[in-house]
Amino acid sequence: MTGAEFYQMYWNRSAGNTRRFHSEEWVGVPQTVGAHSWAVAQILLFVLGPTGLSMELLHAALCHDMAERFLGDVPAPAKWALNAGNYDKVENRILESMGVGTSSITDLDRAHLKAADFLDACFAAFEQRMMGNRLLEQVFERLATHERKNPALLDCHPRFRVLYTQLLAAYQGMDNTLLEIGRSYLWENFQA
């Protein structure tokens, strides 16, 4: 292993420690790129199942935000307002230099990745609201507005839309019923 390869691995590994939502007030431990990437992979696994999730898409899910190690977490509204194509080019160039480019995934996998990435941001805002952080309501509203303006975002697989619809209903009603059902299921099925 060369010194350059070691340095690349060091930077790649530490990219997961980059904080997300740095411009928002956060309750508890801020989400990191590593936690977000894990959550995106879990959403993809839930939606596509183990046989529908390709290794290339899993790799992309785990590495898609590693460029934030250099760029920081640019808030989504800023990305949407900027010429996204230019930002994506810079981000992709950084990912390629880190040896973790995502250019090999199919267009459908890229759509799946964008949908899961979006849903994790929604889940993060939902979790903050569940902990009493009402300051992130504007974040959730911006996400919901983005989805309304881009309805095809979640149309690449029907389970993305179902998951978002349930999350939106739970968020809007702060309906703890879904969470209680989940807790009951876990308690009943995984008792020692």
pTM of the model: 0.81
161/43 Cα distance (integer angstroms) = 12
pLDDT value at residue 121 = 92
Residue 147's contacts (CB-CB under 8 Å, 6 or more residues apart) are: 118, 153, 154, 164
First to last CA, the chain: 45
pLDDT value at residue 118 = 94
State the sign of the Cα–Cα–Cα–Cα dihedral 168, 169, 172, 175.
negative
Count of domains for the chain: 1
CA distances from 164 to 20, 131, 148, 169 (A): 21, 20, 12, 8
pLDDT value at residue 177 = 57
24: region left, alpha or beta (phi > 0 left; psi from -120 to 50 alpha): beta
pLDDT value at residue 180 = 61
Q: What would the DSSP string read from start to end of 92-144?
A: HHHHHHTT---TTS-HHHHHHHHHHHHHHHHHHHHHHHHTT-GGGHHHHHHHH
Residues 112, 156: contact at Cβ < 8 Å? Answer: yes
Residues 20, 75: contact at Cβ < 8 Å? Answer: no
The token pair that represents 141 in the structure block: 């509203």
118/164 Cα distance (integer angstroms) = 10
Domain that holds residue 166: 3-189
The per-residue b/e assignment along 74-83, b for 16 or more CB within 10 angstroms, e otherwise, is ebbeeeeeee
In CATH, what number is assigned to the domain containing residue 105? Answer: 1.10.3210.10
Give pLDDT < 70 ranges for the chain: 7, 10-12, 14, 17, 22-27, 80, 83-85, 174-192
